[in-house]
Structure 1
Amino acid sequence: MKRVLKMLMVAVPALTALAACSPLGTLNALTPSSHFSRDQDIAYGTDPRQRLDIYRPTGTQNAPVVVFFYGGNWTSGDRDDYLFVGEALAARGITTVVVDYRLSPQVTYSGFLDDSARALAWTRAHIAEHGGNRDELFVMGHSAGGYNAAMVAMDPRWLATYGEKPAMLRGWIGLAGPYDFTPITGEDIKPAFLAPNTPPDSQPINHVGEARVPALLLAGGDDKTVDPVRNTRQLAEKLRAVGVPVQTDTFDGIGHAMMIGSFARPLRFRAPVLDRVVAYVEQASGSQAMTAPATR
């Protein structure tokens, strides 16, 4: 018990001190490896950034699949930082694909969306080779990655490039995603979206009704980085208005970084985000393989 308390004393301040979507090696170091096997560094394109890792649940075949895009203002991020996310979902019986994608300044809007769609299409074509069920496919993202997930689920253009449609998805999951953020004020984000000439079609809120993929939208009530009212609540209301099934939750006292940090075992007491995601996947896929409590 003393060892566990010591780890928590280290891990909690460490995450609190991190900026949103920063490297999370502290949490990875506290992540057990017994619940998954990892197929690493798989190419879904020719660029060095077009790589992904697959977390396969131990002893499970034909599992539902979540493709995860991390955040980082479309300027930073690495799939190795999110081992704790792959473990969290794999431990609950979900095959998890953690994707790297090209970042600004290498690309601008819409290069990172093309990569997101390419990775999803690759997953649908190949995930059965890695123990996943191609017909129980979800896309999830945190922060900037939540934007990527929203766009490939709501705007059919991106998947059409690869011969697919958003209807191939059982659902999409947004964790503190920015869905309506013009005019852009963040100096680090402006180049990625060609500000001040940001295209209106870059905003997920402008694609409501184009595709009708069910959604789970989660946010922290204390998020000072991405306004949960303007983004999560507003998008949910607009989707419901056109008949798209949407589930939402806002977690009181939870900030931007903790929305993804709470997937890590030492931090799950902060908010039941993982439980909420797993329940949604279980409900939408009809899977019965994810009954273990997320806090274990």
Structure 2
Amino acid sequence: MNKLVFALLFALLFWEDIYAQVKAEYVKESNVAYRKPTSDKYMDSTCLLDIIYPSNEKKGFSTLIWFHGGSLKGGSRHKGYQELLDQGFAVVTVDYRLSPKATVVQCLEDAAAATAWVVENISRYGGNPKQLFLGGHSAGGYLVSMLGLDKRWLAPYHIDPDTTFAALIPYSGQSITHFTRRAELDMPRTQPLIDDMSPLYHVRKDCPPIMILSGDRELEMLGRYEENAYFWRMFQVVGHPNAKIYEFDSFSHGAMQKPGHLFTIKYIHDFEKKLKDSKRQKEVSE
């Protein structure tokens, strides 16, 4: 375990102290429909998001778009993100249609529609549309990687992920084809597949920066660490300039979200600091 990992995991013991340092007034807008009304009651009742954003005079804040886990079969936008709040950036939590009522393709279409809504609307809340991060756990991590790497999902909205997102942050996501998609193809859960529904299929050096997070390889599910390690390795092979991977020792698939959130908070704060430093240097040089 390197020093950074140890320091951040040790900080878990002082969780309240960390958050007390950055507390701000926040507003939550709930049940926002990110798709136009349809005749499909399930779709209309599911394709909703909540946005939690700073309510003070701060403008131009960053935004994390968060996709929940649950095997693309369950889960909810109401859980799993609370430790990310009160950090000076907005968090948008997204619900999307789930299998078996929806296909994996439709899950991705919903994730793309929600992301497009944020890109188009975040400035109305005071957010900077050029400081958008995509994050999600497990199935949500899979959605993040697919949206950031495979341009077809956001193409209908004329959004290029390479120029839109500051970073992709998948937590314990599948990088091979998701097992729920494999079930649609009548494949067993343990049989791997890499096709165009796999993030690995779309690895390229010009995608946004990516921070891949995983639980302990001995505690993760179905070889999740190993496929993510290969995912990261392929970014090195193609020459991606900013791809990182972290494994959280002693943390299982579900429990790794807690240290993962610490890494995400630090990543976003470091990004913001670099922007401020760059702006100051530019002002000095002028």
* TM-score greater than 0.5 by the shorter chain: yes
- Asked whether the equivalents of residues 53 and 98 of structure 1 are also in contact (C-alpha less than 8 Å), the reply is yes
Secondary structure in structure 2 of the residue aligned to 1:171: strand
| Match runs of 1:150-161 below 5 Å | 150-161=145-156
Q: Distance in 1 between matches of 2:100 and 2:225?
A: 30
Structure 1 partner of 2:93: 98
| Match runs of 1:1-296 below 5 Å | 36-45=26-35, 46=37, 47-59=44-56, 60-82=58-80, 85=81, 87-167=82-162, 168-181=164-177, 184=179, 189=180, 193-196=184-187, 200-209=195-204, 211-221=206-216, 222-244=218-240, 245-260=242-257, 262=258, 272-285=259-272, 286=274
Q: Distance in 2 between matches of 1:138 and 1:162?
A: 18
- Asked whether the equivalents of residues 51 and 93 of structure 2 are also in contact (C-alpha less than 8 Å), the reply is yes
- Asked whether the equivalents of residues 215 and 225 of structure 2 are also in contact (C-alpha less than 8 Å), the reply is no
Superposition TM-score, scaled by structure 1 size: 0.74
Secondary structure in structure 2 of the residue aligned to 1:113: helix
Q: Distance in 2 between matches of 1:256 and 1:54?
A: 26
Amino-acid identity (%)? 29
Larger radius of gyration: 2
CA distance 1:220–1:81, shift in 2 (3 Å)? same
CA distance 1:207–1:191, shift in 2 (3 Å)? closer
Which consecutive residues of structure 1, in runs of 5 or more, have no partner in the other structure? 1-32, 263-271, 289-296
Which consecutive residues of structure 2, in runs of 5 or more, have no partner in the other structure? 1-22, 38-43, 277-286
Secondary structure in structure 1 of the residue aligned to 2:69: coil
Q: Distance in 2 between matches of 1:141 and 1:149?
A: 6
Superposition TM-score, scaled by structure 2 size: 0.76
Q: Deviations over 1:70-124 (max 9, x none)?
A: 1101111221224xx1x43231111110000011112112101111111111101
- Asked whether the equivalents of residues 177 and 195 of structure 2 are also in contact (C-alpha less than 8 Å), the reply is no
CA distance 1:159–1:68, shift in 2 (3 Å)? same
Amino acid at match of 1:95: A
Q: Distance in 2 between matches of 1:247 and 1:152?
A: 18
Q: Distance in 2 between matches of 1:163 and 1:145?
A: 22
- Asked whether the equivalents of residues 108 and 191 of structure 1 are also in contact (C-alpha less than 8 Å), the reply is no
Give the number of equivalent residue pairs. 238
Runs of at least 4 residues off by over 4 Å: none
CA distance 1:162–1:190, shift in 2 (3 Å)? closer
Q: Per-residue deviation at 1:228?
A: 3.8
The worse-fitting range, judged by mean Cα deviation, of 48-57 and 277-286 is 277-286
Secondary structure in structure 1 of the residue aligned to 2:96: coil
Q: Per-residue deviation at 1:192?
A: 6.0
